């Protein structure tokens, strides 16, 4: 019994650390873009390449007898991996960072977390699922919460920069595609391997636009270097590793629920650290979206 409880506590800690690092990683990126003028294109390149490499190294350490290249032995798997890398991983990562760059991490994270509603709508349109009362409630919460978050209740103006809103919506749509499409790969290959290679492939593509070596490293001070390392290593690679590893000790239900810590952490960190101010109706919108995320998490895990 003691051992079982110990394992459960370990799982909870891994899930909380993973979700928290994801939320903090977005806020750190916000700080780097706004306060340290780090170029978003270079940052996305570095984030993808370094995190992807770290995840593959972790996979090899945990699976010494398996090759990291097994995913490339089938031409169909290679095709699927490249589709996922470009339209899933790259689009999710870039659009999320772009939304942060033009706005803030809290709004970008909330807009991205609407992805499950897009998935619901997709399955309804494809007639894979019947339209239920829950779906109507989720859509109403999404529309209401997003409207209040972006406009503070005004029908004539936005309180969030238009580019941030557009990239945030794209991020949510890309995450929906990411979630649906990746299952085709995960039934045959470990998640660390799939995500690691997807990050490297998308990072190589980004490298053509913003080479990782084309950066004046002499301009970096100690604090900025620490923030960059945290955003890339902890906010991406370690966050993913911890969250996925928590499934070894917790049920999918519990892990999904702990994942809701990410947007909460992004909101709290943005408010306390970066002094982001939300207007009254925006706060109501945030509450509605958080309720939506919790509701979807309970449903997904039931």
73-99: per-residue pLDDT in tens?
Answer: 899 999 999 999 999 999 999 999 999
pLDDT given at position 1:
46
Region 256-282: mean pLDDT is 90
Alpha helices in the chain, H assignment, sequence order: 2-34, 40-62, 75-83, 91-102, 105-112, 115-125, 133-151, 162-186, 191-209, 222-229, 239-245, 252-258, 261-272, 280-301
> Do 181 and 81 touch, CB atoms closer than 8 A?
no
pLDDT given at position 102:
96
Region 59-80: mean pLDDT is 93
85 or 7, greater pLDDT: 85
pLDDT given at position 12:
85
Kindly tell me if the per-residue pLDDT of 159 is higher than 70.
yes
* Residues 59, 192: Cα–Cα separation, whole Å: 6
Question: Count of alpha carbons within 13 Å of 1, Cβ hemisphere only?
Answer: 0
* Residues 61, 237: Cα–Cα separation, whole Å: 15
Residue-number span of the structural domain to which 161 is assigned: 2-301
- Least confident span in 69-73, 83-87, 201-205, 254-258: 254-258
Q: Mean pLDDT over all residues of the chain?
A: 90
Kindly tell me if the per-residue pLDDT of 243 is higher than 80.
yes
> Do 162 and 104 touch, CB atoms closer than 8 A?
no
Question: Count of alpha carbons within 13 Å of 183, Cβ hemisphere only?
Answer: 5
Percent of the chain with pLDDT over 70: 96
Instruction: Provide the number of structural domains found in the chain.
Output: 1
Residue that the structure tokens 């999918």 belong to: 252
126 or 66, greater pLDDT: 66
pTM equals: 0.91
> Do 32 and 26 touch, CB atoms closer than 8 A?
no
* Residues 287, 292: Cα–Cα separation, whole Å: 9
Return the closest-CA partner of residue 232 out of 13, 50, 1, 7.
50
pLDDT given at position 36:
93
* Residues 114, 101: Cα–Cα separation, whole Å: 19
């Amino acid at each position: 019994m003691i051992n079982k409880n110990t394992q459960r506590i370990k799982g909870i800690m891994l899930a909380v650390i993973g979700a928290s690092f994801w939320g903090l990683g977005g806020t750190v990126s916000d700080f780097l873009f706004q306060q340290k003028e780090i170029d978003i294109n270079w940052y996305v390149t570095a984030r993808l390449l370094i995190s992807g490499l770290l995840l593959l190294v972790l996979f090899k350490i945990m699976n010494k007898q398996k090759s990291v290249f097994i995913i490339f032995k089938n031409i169909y798997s290679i095709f699927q991996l490249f589709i996922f890398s470009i339209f899933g991983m790259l689009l999710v990562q870039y659009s999320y960072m772009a939304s942060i760059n033009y706005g803030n991490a809290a709004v970008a994270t909330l807009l991205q977390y609407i992805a499950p509603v897009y998935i619901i709508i997709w399955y309804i349109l494809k007639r894979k699922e019947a339209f239920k009362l829950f779906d109507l409630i989720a859509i109403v919460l999404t529309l209401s919460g997003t409207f209040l978050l972006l406009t503070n209740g005004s029908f004539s103006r936005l309180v969030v920069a238009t580019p941030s809103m557009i990239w945030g919506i794209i991020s949510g749509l890309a995450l929906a595609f990411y979630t649906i499409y990746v299952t085709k790969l995960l039934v045959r290959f470990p998640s660390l391997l799939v995500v690691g290679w997807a990050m490297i492939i998308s990072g190589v593509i980004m490298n053509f636009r913003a080479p990782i070596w084309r950066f004046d490293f002499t301009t970096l001070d100690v604090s900025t270097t620490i923030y960059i390392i945290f955003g890339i290593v902890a906010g991406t690679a370690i966050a993913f590793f911890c969250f996925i590893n928590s499934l070894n000790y917790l049920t999918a239900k519990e892990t999904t629920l702990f994942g809701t810590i990410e947007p909460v952490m992004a909101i709290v960190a943005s408010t306390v650290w970066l002094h982001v101010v939300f207007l009254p109706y925006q706060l109501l919108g945030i509450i509605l979206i958080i309720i939506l995320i919790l509701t979807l998490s309970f449903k997904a895990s039931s």
